[in-house]
């Protein structure tokens, strides 16, 4: 068994090295700062603290309470709101907490379709199905790559869902929340925003401000454009104390037992870092996404959202049917050291044959890349997918490009190795 442990350490070292040499373009991934990582492997990992600060079911939680109160305070400052709950352990769990709190089985809940970029939480095989709520789909404007306001108003007035979820996993442009808010009010529906992808952009003042555009509650994961640990979050301006209590009960005991205290402590660090560095990071992340989109478009790639400047977020969607389809292109990019994912795009007929790839700039921005590097990345795409250059050659060029960008930015301890393997023991077991 000792050998297996040695093998595992080696595999994870190789994984870190692979990412150090790659161009990581997964829109939902990011890198943790050294101070956040340190708390992630602290003794908090070994503890239980069910309940809220000061109202625990376990003893020994005095310091956990201090950490949680700091984390809550930072969350409220970052999102300029009165309510926060940092106990959901992931974005999907945060969504389940909202559904538990604000919907009953059988209720109608507004959302977008998967092919229009929605997260699997909205699917019958995801969180919606777990809670037993029925989706009401918004109409979609394929050219503008966002909700079609006029047609969606009609749908909402006709069907009258109780709750309306706004949020996407291919999130190119802000949702038309302010335009839809009067309709939500007229039918008595509550506005809920899943900010997982754009959390760091919202906190950095870059995308939209859902809590001031008609949404009462915002759920999220905390490791995408907000470069925190894998965890979940609820923030908002609940309309009354009853809603606060329901949301808190949704988080615990509704959908969590213990809330991963080590991740919560790391999240507090990430919030503090985002308060200090988030504005610049968010701005540069979006600038890079636009630069990459333009550079790919100039090289003949079909980047969606052209009329509106391709993207206003960290994400771009590229239709790659001419290049072999989403699955094939994602695989070939990976062989060439460029990590992305296949994705369904509007108009795709089968989930098994996604027509596109989704690209994101959170991680390449985090290690300090800028517009010049975005052009270089587009050249690598062109070389591989249009000029027929062998993947092995492109992989070497990708590694050369990445070699200059392996230190973290936009955090305390900037410059620390971004892909460091933390060898705490110093030797393999014998």
Asked whether the beta carbons of 367 and 418 are under 8 A apart, the reply is yes
Beta bridge partners of 356: 319, 343
Least distance in Å: CB of 278 to ligand DSN?
20
Taking the least distance from each CB to ligand DSN, the nearer of 21 and 119 is 119
Q: How far is CA 64 from CA 50, 83, 392, in A?
A: 11, 19, 49
Least distance in Å: CB of 257 to ligand DSN?
21
- Residue 342 binding ligand DSN, by CB under 6 A: no
Taking the least distance from each CB to ligand DSN, the nearer of 26 and 155 is 26
Residue 372, CA atoms < 13 Å, CB-side half-sphere: 6
Handedness of CA 102, 105, 107, 110 (dihedral sign): positive
Least distance in Å: CB of 225 to ligand DSN?
11
For residue 166, the surrounding DSSP H or E stretch is strand 163-166
Q: What values do phi and psi take at 14, rounded to 5?
A: -65, -40
CA angle 303–305–308, rounded 5-degree value: 130
Q: How far is CA 292 from CA 24, 288, 303, 360, in A?
A: 13, 6, 10, 9
Taking the least distance from each CB to ligand DSN, the nearer of 171 and 277 is 171
Taking the least distance from each CB to ligand DSN, the nearer of 169 and 256 is 169
- Residue 169 binding ligand DSN, by CB under 6 A: yes
Measured in whole angstroms, how far is the alpha carbon of residue 123 from the centre of its chain?
18
- Residue 231 binding ligand DSN, by CB under 6 A: no
Least distance in Å: CB of 191 to ligand DSN?
21
Asked whether the beta carbons of 218 and 165 are under 8 A apart, the reply is no
Q: Which of 21, 37, 100, 119 binds ligand DSN (CB under 6 A)?
A: 119
Residues 184-203, mask of contacts with ligand DSN (x by CB under 6 A) = ------------x-------
3-state secondary structure at position 391 = helix
| Cβ neighbours for 86, distance < 8 A, ≥ 6 positions apart | 68, 71, 72, 75, 231, 233, 259, 264, 267
- Residue 228 binding ligand DSN, by CB under 6 A: no
- Find the binding residues for ligand DSN in span 125-154 (CB under 6 A): none
Least distance in Å: CB of 230 to ligand DSN?
10
Taking the least distance from each CB to ligand DSN, the nearer of 91 and 250 is 91
- Residue 28 binding ligand DSN, by CB under 6 A: yes
- Find the binding residues for ligand DSN in span 237-296 (CB under 6 A): none
Taking the least distance from each CB to ligand DSN, the nearer of 100 and 119 is 119
Taking the least distance from each CB to ligand DSN, the nearer of 121 and 248 is 121
Report the chain's terminal Cα–Cα distance, integer Å: 9
Size of the site for ligand DSN (CB under 6 A): 5
Total length of the chain: 430
Asked whether the beta carbons of 396 and 405 are under 8 A apart, the reply is no
Taking the least distance from each CB to ligand DSN, the nearer of 146 and 222 is 222
From CA 132, how far away is CA 66, in angstroms rounded? 37
**Nearest residue to ligand DSN on Cβ basis:** 28
Least distance in Å: CB of 119 to ligand DSN?
6
**Residue 351: how many CB atoms within 10 A of its CB?**
9
- Residue 91 binding ligand DSN, by CB under 6 A: yes
Beta bridge partners of 369: none
Least distance in Å: CB of 384 to ligand DSN?
22
Binding site for ligand DSN (CB under 6 A): 28, 91, 119, 169, 196
């Amino acid at each position: 068994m000792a050998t297996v442990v040695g093998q595992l350490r080696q595999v994870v070292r190789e994984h870190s090295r692979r990412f150090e040499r790659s161009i990581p373009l997964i829109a939902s991934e990011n890198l943790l700062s050294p101070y956040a990582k340190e708390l992630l492997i602290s003794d908090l990992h070994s503890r239980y603290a069910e309940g809220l600060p000061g109202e625990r079911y376990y003893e020994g939680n005095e310091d956990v309470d201090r950490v949680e109160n700091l984390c809550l305070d930072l969350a409220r400052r970052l999102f300029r709101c009165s309510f926060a709950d940092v106990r959901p352990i992931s974005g999907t769990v945060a969504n389940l907490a909202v559904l538990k709190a604000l919907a009953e089985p059988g209720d109608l809940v507004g959302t977008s379709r998967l092919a229009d970029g929605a997260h699997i939480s909205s699917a019958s095989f995801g969180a919606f199905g777990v809670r037993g709520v029925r989706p009401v789909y918004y109409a979609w404007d394929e050219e503008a790559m966002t909700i079609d306001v006029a047609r969606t108003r009609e749908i909402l007035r006709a069907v009258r869902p109780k709750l309306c979820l706004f949020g996407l996993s291919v999130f190119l442009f802000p949702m038309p929340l302010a335009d839809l808010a009067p309709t939500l009010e007229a039918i008595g529906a509550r506005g809920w925003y899943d900010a997982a992808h754009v959390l760091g952009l919202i906190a950095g003042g870059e995308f939209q401000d859902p809590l001031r555009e008609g949404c009462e509650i915002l759920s999220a994961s905390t490791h995408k454009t907000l470069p925190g640990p894998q965890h979940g979050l609820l923030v908002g301006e609940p309309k009354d104390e009853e809603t606060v209590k329901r949301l808190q009960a949704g988080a615990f005991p509704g959908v969590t037992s213990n809330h991963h205290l080590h991740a919560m402590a790391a999240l507090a660090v990430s919030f503090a870092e985002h308060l200090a560095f988030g504005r610049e990071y968010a701005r540069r992340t979006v600038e890079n996404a636009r630069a990459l989109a333009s550079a790919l478009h100039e090289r003949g790639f079909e980047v969606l959202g052209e009329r509106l400047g391709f993207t206003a977020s960290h994400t771009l969607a590229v239709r790659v049917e001419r290049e072999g389809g989403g699955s094939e292109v994602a695989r070939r990019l990976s062989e060439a050291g460029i990590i992305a994912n296949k994705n369904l795009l509007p108009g795709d007929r089968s989930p098994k044959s996604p027509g596109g790839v989704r690209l994101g700039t959170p991680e390449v921005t985090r290690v300090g890349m800028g517009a010049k590097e975005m052009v270089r990345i587009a050249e690598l795409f062109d070389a591989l997918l249009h000029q027929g250059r062998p993947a092995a050659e492109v992989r070497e060029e990708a590694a050369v490009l990445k070699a200059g960008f392996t230190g973290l930015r936009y955090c305390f301890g900037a410059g620390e190795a971004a892909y460091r393997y933390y060898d705490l023991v110093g030797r393999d077991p014998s």
